[in-house]
Structure 1
């Protein structure tokens, strides 16, 4: 099912408004670790996948503290069910883990992609904040 026009527009807007943990992860993913290509805020049917690796059909969902709320847990379960029915594998990453242990999180992503790391992922330097926008 192709994404709706509204979903595509929302994805474009979300790409401009990444959270700090999303920016840190994207800085690493866009470097194509182990040759894998990733997309950010990828429209998929009625949903937007935070990060997506097409070759592994892996959706990486970044969960902040709001994902612990009962209503959001139910929504995430429906969304994961839909994604899995479409043939996507879903990896949920807690936003706090990006800064707590980036190397372990990177290894987990590469493992889920089925890639054997050629090297240990190193911590990504935090983006600089300039004039109220992350650069």
Structure 2
């Protein structure tokens, strides 16, 4: 499956945590930053990406614990100028405001 088809499939099957986060990131609600969901970047699809500040936000479930593939992916993205923030799904669902505050701090550091 190519990147665009994969992104479309992922958009259609978002997790509860992804839906919660998207409801707060979409339409420039956070600091006026434009986020895209399930956005293809090179060989990967980022859960959420703000292209103007090269910030990626990932919503991670249990399958991401100590995942070497995620480490390689983050290293590739960093090499290409992206900053990656990762949050566990339970944190997104129970501490949404804290997660958004962390994302906001990253946006402010990028001077969007």
Shared fold per TM-score greater than 0.5: yes
For residues 37 and 27 of structure 2, the distance between their equivalents in structure 1, rounded to whole angstroms, comes to: 13
Greater share of helix: 2
Match of 2:19 among 14, 17, 23: 23
Instruction: Name the SS of the counterpart of 2:31 in structure 1.
Output: helix
Aligned pair count reads 108
Could you tell me which residue of structure 2 aligns to residue 119 of structure 1? none
State which structure, 1 or 2, has the greater radius of gyration over its C-alpha atoms.
1
Instruction: Output the aligned Cα RMSD.
Output: 1.3
For residues 3 and 32 of structure 2, the distance between their equivalents in structure 1, rounded to whole angstroms, comes to: 28
Instruction: Name the SS of the counterpart of 1:113 in structure 2.
Output: helix
Match of 2:82 among 55, 79, 88: 88
The alignment's TM-score, normalised by the length of structure 2, stands at: 0.91
Match of 2:105 among 111, 120, 125: 111
For residues 39 and 31 of structure 1, the distance between their equivalents in structure 2, rounded to whole angstroms, comes to: 9
Q: What do residues 100-123 of structure 1 show as CA deviations (whole Å, max 9, x unaligned)?
A: 2111110000111116xxxxxxxx
The alignment's TM-score, normalised by the length of structure 1, stands at: 0.76
Segments of structure 1 that go 5 or more residues without pairing to the other structure are 116-135
For residues 34 and 113 of structure 1, the distance between their equivalents in structure 2, rounded to whole angstroms, comes to: 8
